[in-house]
Chain A
Amino acid sequence: MSETRKSLFTEDAQTKARNRAERRFKGYGVAAIAAGLFFLLALLTTIVSNGTRAFTQTFLTVDIALEQTVIDEAEASFVKTSKYKAIVGAAMEAALEKAAIPTDMDQAALLKILSESAGSNLREFVLANENAIGETVSFNFLTSSRVDGYMKGRVVRADLERDKNLDAAHLDLVDQMIDAGLVERKFNWDFILGADASESRPEQAGIGVSMLGSFFMMLVVIGLSLPLGVAASIYLEEFAPKNRLVDLIEVNIANLAAVPSIVFGILGLAVFIQFAHLPQSAPLVGGLVLTLMTLPTVIISTRASLKSVPPSIRDAALGIGASKIQTVFHQVLPLAMPGILTGAIIGVAQALGETAPLLLIGMVGYIATNPPDGIVSGFMDPNSAMPAQIYEWAKRADPAYYERAWGGILILLAFLLVVNLAAIILRRRFERRW
């Protein structure tokens, strides 16, 4: 016992230490939350700052006089697009002359500023609009991915020293063309709506076709996992007796929810492709695999919302003579529907962002260049899906494609946001508290 009397309010050494420990402990908690939020912020800023650039693209505007004789000559030649390219090249020379920009480059060197696709774009336009022949039409051609990168600050002159396609002189020319208003960065709808392009033409690639692939897959997922999941949950929640089989089903569902998604990909490969001979890369197969993957999620959330319907509703229905099935389908199910739909939507969101199983059933490595023509073709013809397309772009190891991958992620996240918001609104609007 110490002799000196102290006020309760003066802290002795031990209390001080304990209080310090308390503050330290609380500090750890704050730091953990801060770290989590920091990571979220870092992730989102990276996505937004890298992704938004993919939505604009650099275009070159040239007027081309479409003359019948020149076009006939090009159509008669063996490599048609190269003749069309020459037409574009000549038009570029004329445009430079008109804007009083001096250059000593020949046509072939000038054309390197443009995307490889310029010639075929012109040809497609001519074939589609034959009555435009004889007039002068203003064209917007995509510039090559390096010029585009220069406009976006991704490519600097020093990078071009070892580049075979473009050198600093091109960029000087581009600078002058910007001043003359010939080269412009514009919003690029083709990125959102267009098709994937080959590895050497990142400026042309778009996510539109794989978006359709994802759309058809989600149709399969919704069409199968909702009815199957609801039916399974109704049985387990309302009818199932307590026996071995039902126990087995319950344990199975709990375990399936934790099986890695890649294993579902192996299942899809072995069962749907190897055994059932369904076509590879088809959205139908992707949808089936994702259905099996999301089914446990749907079942778990559906059971929760069936459970939340109070027993008095069932008792009332049974009391006035409804059969058990009638009670469930006429009373319980409609009341549980908002909760069920919320769960299903969350399941769909999970399926929409899933990539790993799609790698195994061939939805990667397939270049989605053609949109499906019709509903059956949408389900059965090879296609990609949004996350698979992003992975494909990330694998191509080209900064121009990395930019597109980030842009694709932005679109994917926008879809997920919409889907999740729908779930939240549905829950807020219709969910009842009993």
Chain B
Amino acid sequence: MKVAVVTFPGSNCDYDLYKAVQDVGGSPTFVWHRERGLDGYDAVMLPGGFSYGDYLRGGAIARLSPVMEDVVAYAAAGGPVLGVCNGFQILCEAGLLPGALMRNESLRFQSFPVRLRVERADTLFTTAYDEGQVLRIPIAHGEGNYEADPATLERLEGDGRVVFRYVDASGEPTDDGNPNGSWHNIAGIVNEAGNVLGMMPHPERAMEPLLGSTDGRGVFTSLVRALGAAAPAATP
């Protein structure tokens, strides 16, 4: 699995993603935001961080980077794209995913492991999990409060495009389990075609028993499995 890990000025989870891809037997390559061309990659990943210092809005300037034109074309051609944290914000700003990530309701930067319920175990990124399984994966963000207009939200729920939801200790999506005020406890969504996943929690930080959880591995092993089974990646 050849993976492009796109880095922007201010990305800071790029090495974590790189390592996560290596850990599941993939071969990652860093692609600088000014580079062009994503041909030949089996997947593209946008890391967390604070691209352009989060100036204007998280992801607002990064999404205008030259490489993002290629990411948009890559996604349109069906190529798998994963955006984590700031990467999720960039995907929303680029219009690859609907909605926006607003300031946390608490106004605090929240950094701790959360409980995530897998709502869909049949996407490219989640077949290694069981539907309803609760994962422990860390978050680290100040702007992860997912919002969209009512029609979009209804469509997301109706089409089953909410992939991960924040839940409490009993596995329910309550306010208690919601770290940032996201609508319906949304932590991760896919696009209509199902090949673009954006999520605020960091699966790449939950790869090692030493760091407290290996629950993030499934995102990467699922992708390896999906790519192994399917035809080679889209070449836009």
The answer to whether A and B assemble together is no
Give chain A's interface residues, CB within 8 Å of chain B.
none
